[in-house]
């Protein structure tokens, strides 16, 4: 296919349109003007001639064979003269057009030239009884060199000059308009190419006041920003995974080497230490798996009508041993028989993530309370703990992927900052909202609100 640049194409189309409009319309006007003007002139000439014929006939009837009563002034341009003769061809008289203007120096030469171009027309003369008594011959200047013709030519010349000026103006406007549309589009194309080459972030150098083009510019910018964010996240994830995995692997390796070299005897206590490190490693791997869940949570759900009360109760009770081990009191306040149209596996993931955070960030002697209730058209699930709490400045980013507060980083038991992002993604897939209330040192309360009005319901 013959590819042309947007600028060339737009310019070509604009100019074609302009040329068509500017040539066709003025040409039509000029044609109409010429036609009407010629028609008007010839009709007027015919009327003048007819009037003259009548006057000559009246004069001849009155016996005047010299034309003395016919004044030269009444002879109007373009009739230069007329000659009256009898039926036998004997001339009675000739009357010439007398110009009131001063003759030009080369007037004679001009007259001779005009004379050779004059058109002759002979009309019969009649008496009162309709009998032919002679004829009159008119000598007429042709239209092209008549005053009317000259006027028309000047008009046409001015019209052509006007059209030429308009064409130049239109070309300037077309170039300006083309640039206005083409520049941001070309810029966007360049930006999209840069993005495809991995240069995600770029300074916006152009804007457009055309809504669709501005939307395109914004979308491509947003795409670049999103990809840049994804890239940052990926890098952070790789760093985090490497960092988190490094220490248990190093410890396990060192311990196994110590066993192999006979430096350490494989006592139950020491083997338990190694086992603890392996547990930590498997927990980290489970967290990393959360990433896959995160992307799946954005996608399809396996929806069914679920007894949410039972689901939450079962999940919470499965955490009981872990809470007991850590000396945390678990409380349940679950309203019976709440049904929800949802993906039960994903909802289980929500409660498990919230409970494992509560377990992780609540110290011995603390309390964790799980509440499930129905309020009007909402089903509210909350997990409240008396743990370390979250600083105000961390709250806005808490549900971001890989976000961890400094406090949790300082803790041995910290995860990778995926759990809450998974909770949010699953909640969004269920058209539910998730929020947190927390005070540092006092505890946190995570609340998920399922709306039965927004599609998935009870
Ligand atoms: P992580 O795997 O690090 O726990 P999450 O996404 O589940 O990741 O949580 C993100 C961060 O939010 C945690 O690192 C922690 O700082 C904070 N956080 C989450 N739940 C709690 C809680 N119940 N109490 C205190 N801090 C919490």
Tokens representing residue 345 in the block: 């596996």
pLDDT at site 409:
58
Confidence (pLDDT) at 338? 94
160-to-21, 29, 74, 145, 167 alpha-carbon distances in Å: 14, 12, 36, 20, 10
- Tokens of residue 46, six digits: 């015919």
- Specify which residues 125 forms β-bridges with: 134
Mean pLDDT of 98-103: 66
- Ligand 1, atom 13: nearest CA belongs to which residue? 404
Q: Which helix (H) or strand (E) holds 359?
A: helix 344-360
Cα–Cα distance, 114 to 108 (Å, whole number): 10
Ligand 1 centroid, distance to 442 Cα (angstroms): 15
- Can you tell me which atom of ligand 1 is nearest the CA of 387? 24
Is pLDDT above 90 for 358?
A: yes
Residue found under tokens 């406007």? 173
Residue 257, pLDDT above cutoff 60: yes
Position with higher pLDDT, 9 vs 354: 354
Give CA–CA dist 27/15, Å, rounded. 17
- Quote the CA–CA distance of 297 and 430 in Å, as a whole number: 9
User: Comparing C-alpha atoms, which of 117, 111, 116, 136 is closest to residue 126?
Assistant: 136
pLDDT at 311 over 90: yes
- Model pLDDT, residue 282: 84
> Ligand 1: which of 323, 408, 444 to mutate, most ligand atoms within 8 Å of CB?
408
**Minimal CA–CA distance to 390: which of 420, 424, 425?**
420
For the whole model, what pTM was predicted? 0.48
Say how many Å lie between the CA of residue 318 and the centre of ligand 1.
Answer: 20
Give the C-alpha separation, 268 to 275, whole Å: 10
Predicted confidence (pLDDT) at residue 298 exceeds the cutoff of 60: no
Work out the angle between the directed axes of helices 211-260 and 268-297 (0-180°, nearest 10): 170
Q: Are strands 329-334 and 304-307 parallel, antiparallel or unpaired?
A: unpaired
DSSP string for 123-171 = EEEE-TTS-EEEEEEEEE--GGGSHHHHHHHHHHHHHHHHHHHHHHHHH
| Predicted local confidence at residue 203, as pLDDT | 75
The pLDDT > 70 percentage for the chain reads: 88
Q: Spell out which residues line ligand 1, taking CB within 6 angstroms.
A: 287, 353, 357-358, 361, 385, 387-390, 398, 403-405, 408, 414-421, 444
- Nearest Cα residue to atom 19 of ligand 1: 357
Compute the Cα dihedral for 353, 358, 363, 369 and give only its sign.
negative
Give the mean model confidence (pLDDT) for residues 404-417: 64
Centre of ligand 1 from the C-alpha of residue 292, in Å: 19
pLDDT at position 127: 87
Contact 361, 444 (CB under 8 A): yes
CB 139 within 8 A of CB 118: yes
Query: For 14-36, what is the mean pLDDT?
Result: 86
Q: Is the pLDDT of residue 1 over 70?
A: no
The residue contributing the CA closest to ligand 1 atom 23 is: 358
Residue 455 has pLDDT above 60, yes or no: no
Residue whose C-alpha is closest to residue 416's, from 429, 400, 427: 400
Is the pLDDT higher at 191 or at 247?
191
Quick one: pLDDT at residue 376?
Answer: 87
Between residues 311 and 182, which one has the greater pLDDT?
Answer: 311
> Cα(82)–Cα(73) distance, rounded to whole angstroms?
13
Note the pLDDT of residue 336. 94
Q: Report which ligand 1 atom has the smallest distance to the Cα of 446.
A: 23
The atom of ligand 1 lying closest to the CA of 353 is 7
Range 34-61 average pLDDT: 88
CA of 13 to the centre of ligand 1 (A): 60
> CB of 114 within 8 A of CB of 122?
no
Atom of ligand 1 nearest to the CA of 388: 25
3 state DSSP class of 107 = helix
* pLDDT-derived band at 110, boundaries 50, 70, 90: confident
Q: Is the pLDDT of residue 52 over 90?
A: no
Range with the lowest mean pLDDT among 98-107, 147-156, 229-238, 251-260? Answer: 98-107
The atom number, within ligand 1, closest to the CA of 422 reads 6
Mean pLDDT of 82-105: 80
Answer yes or no: is pLDDT of 433 > 60. yes
Tell whether the torsion through CA atoms of 203, 208, 213 and 215 is positive or negative. positive
Contact 240, 210 (CB under 8 A): no
Q: Which of 291, 352, 361 to mutate to test the pocket of ligand 1 (most atoms within 8 A of CB)?
A: 361
- Kindly report the average pLDDT of the chain as a whole number: 84
Q: Are 252 and 274 in contact (CB under 8 A)?
A: yes
pLDDT of residue 306: 93
Q: How far apart are CA 74 and CA 68, in angstroms?
A: 13
pLDDT band at 101 (very low <50, low <70, confident <90, very high): low
Q: What is the pLDDT of residues 199-255, one digit of tens each?
A: 888 776 678 888 888 888 888 888 888 888 778 777 776 776 777 678 778 888 998
> Residue 433 phi/psi, 5° resolution?
-110, 155
Cα-to-centroid distance, 357 and ligand 1 (Å)? 6
Residue 362 Cα to ligand 1 midpoint, Å, equals: 11
pLDDT higher at 79 or 297: 79
Tokens of 48: 């003048």
β-bridge pairing 378-385 and 367-375 = antiparallel
Q: What is the pLDDT of residue 74?
A: 58
Q: How many residues does the chain have?
A: 458
Q: Which residue has the higher pLDDT, 187 or 203?
A: 187
Residue having the nearest C-alpha atom to atom 21 of ligand 1: 357
Mean pLDDT of 182-206: 84
Residue 199 has φ and ψ, to the nearest 5°, of: -90, 85
Closest-lying ligand 1 atom to the alpha carbon of residue 417: 8
Query: What integer pLDDT is reported at residue 413 of this predicted model?
Result: 58
What pLDDT is attached to residue 300? 61
| pLDDT in the model for residue 287 | 66
State residue 419's pLDDT score. 84
Nearest to 144 by CA among 117, 120, 121: 117
């Amino acid at each position: 296919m013959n590819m042309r640049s947007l600028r060339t194409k737009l310019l070509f189309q604009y100019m074609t349109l302009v040329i068509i409009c500017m040539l066709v319309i003025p040409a039509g006007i000029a044609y109409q003007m010429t036609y009407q003007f010629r028609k008007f002139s010839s009709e007027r000439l015919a009327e003048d001639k007819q009037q003259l014929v009548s006057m000559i006939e009246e004069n001849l009837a009155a016996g005047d064979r010299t034309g003395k009563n016919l004044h030269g002034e009444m002879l109007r341009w373009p009739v230069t003269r007329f000659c009256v003769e009898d039926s036998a061809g004997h001339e009675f008289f000739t009357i010439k057009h007398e110009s009131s203007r001063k003759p030009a120096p080369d007037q004679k030469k001009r007259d001779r030239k005009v004379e050779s171009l004059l058109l002759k027309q002979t009309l019969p003369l009649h008496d009162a009884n309709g009998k032919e008594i002679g004829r009159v011959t008119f000598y007429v200047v042709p239209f092209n060199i008549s005053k009317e013709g000259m006027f028309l030519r000047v008009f046409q010349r001015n019209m052509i000059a006007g059209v030429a000026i308009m064409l130049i103006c239109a070309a300037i406007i077309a170039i300006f308009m083309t640039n206005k549309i083409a520049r941001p589009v070309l810029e966007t194309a360049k930006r999209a190419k840069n993005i495809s080459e991995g240069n995600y972030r770029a300074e916006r150098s152009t804007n457009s006041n055309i809504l669709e083009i501005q939307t395109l510019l914004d979308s491509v910018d947003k795409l670049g920003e999103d990809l840049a964010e994804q890239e940052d996240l990926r890098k952070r994830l790789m760093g985090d995974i490497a960092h988190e995995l490094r220490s248990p692997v190093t410890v396990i390796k060192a311990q196994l080497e110590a066993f192999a070299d006979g430096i350490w005897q494989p006592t139950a206590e020491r083997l338990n230490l190694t086992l603890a490190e392996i547990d930590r490693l498997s927990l980290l791997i489970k967290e990393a798996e959360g990433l896959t869940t995160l992307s799946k949570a954005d996608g399809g759900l396996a929806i069914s009508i679920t007894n949410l009360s039972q689901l939450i109760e079962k999940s919470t009770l499965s955490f009981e041993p872990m809470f007991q081990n850590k000396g945390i009191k678990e409380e349940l306040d679950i309203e019976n028989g709440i049904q929800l149209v949802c993906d039960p596996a994903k909802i289980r993931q929500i409660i498990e993530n919230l409970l494992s955070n509560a377990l992780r960030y609540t110290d011995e002697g603390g309390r964790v309370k799980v509440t499930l209730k129905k309020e009007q058209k909402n089903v509210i699930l909350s997990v409240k703990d008396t743990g370390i709490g979250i600083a105000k400045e961390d709250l806005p980013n808490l549900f971001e992927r890989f976000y961890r507060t400094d406090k949790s980083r300082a803790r041995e038991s910290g995860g990778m900052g995926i759990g809450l992002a998974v909770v949010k993604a699953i909640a969004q897939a269920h058209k539910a909202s998730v929020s947190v209330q927390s005070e540092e040192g006092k505890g946190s309360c995570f609340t998920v609100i399922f709306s039965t009005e927004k599609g998935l319901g009870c």
